Amino acid sequence: MKCLTQDGFEIHRSVFSAVEIEALREEADRVAGEAGSACVRNLNARSELFRELSNSPKLREIFPKALYLTVRSLLFDKTPQENWPVAWHQDLTIATKAEISCEGYGPWSVKDGVTHAHAPTGLLQQMVTARIHLDPTHEENGALMVVPASHLLGKIPAASIPDLMMKPAFNCVCEPGDVLLMSPLLLHSSHRSTKPSRRRILHFEYAPPNALDPRLAWHDA
């Protein structure tokens, strides 16, 4: 297993049982059907089950102890019909209740009615993402690829990303019930599936309770 601090990610195997995963699949299909989208934002506001899951003991016991708040929640539902590639990038934005001018935050945008801002590096360094895999996620099915230790570089200019592609990437091959923890600053991407099937992933972002500028409020917290 890779180390979250050193490598920017780590994979925890079989955190959730087959029975638990089946219930989560059913709920994911319900939420995606109601939203009419393969990428569903504000997941915790749409599902009591997912809200409880994001704070479940099984997740909390594998987190760094400082993390507390669930600050963003999404569902990614890649299918043979919705089979998109994702270019190499870092997760630099956060979701807030409103746009308020604060040093280090911005540019601002609105996605699905929710205010987003690029966050300061210091805040992103304190955050961790948990990705719960509901389906087999192999290389041919769009598994996440990461550049180990790239989170230690802070925000990476777009012009510098091609140079980092010279380093070996790691394929985060996962089975249902596995949980991938990663830094939002970790450089990552995924190919279009070559043997596409369902690839449902629950994506929860966490931050310490006092990490955000006090003038702002997390959208999901």
pLDDT score of 78: 76
User: What's the confidence (pLDDT) of residue 198?
Assistant: 79
- Give pTM, 2 decimals: 0.93
pLDDT score recorded for residue 12: 96
Q: Where are the domains of the chain?
A: 4-207
The predicted structure's pLDDT at residue 83: 61
Q: How would you write the pLDDT of the chain (221 residues) with one tens digit per residue?
A: 468 889 999 999 999 999 999 999 999 999 999 998 888 999 999 999 999 999 999 998 898 776 789 999 999 987 666 666 788 999 999 999 999 999 999 999 998 889 999 999 999 999 999 999 999 998 877 789 999 999 999 999 988 988 887 778 899 999 999 999 999 999 999 877 666 677 899 999 999 989 999 999 999 87
Structure tokens at 53: 């899951």
Q: 4-207: what CATH class?
A: mainly beta
Question: Given this model, what pLDDT does residue 91 score?
Answer: 97
Per-residue model confidence (pLDDT) at position 26: 97
Q: Count CB-CB contacts under 10 A for residue 152.
A: 14
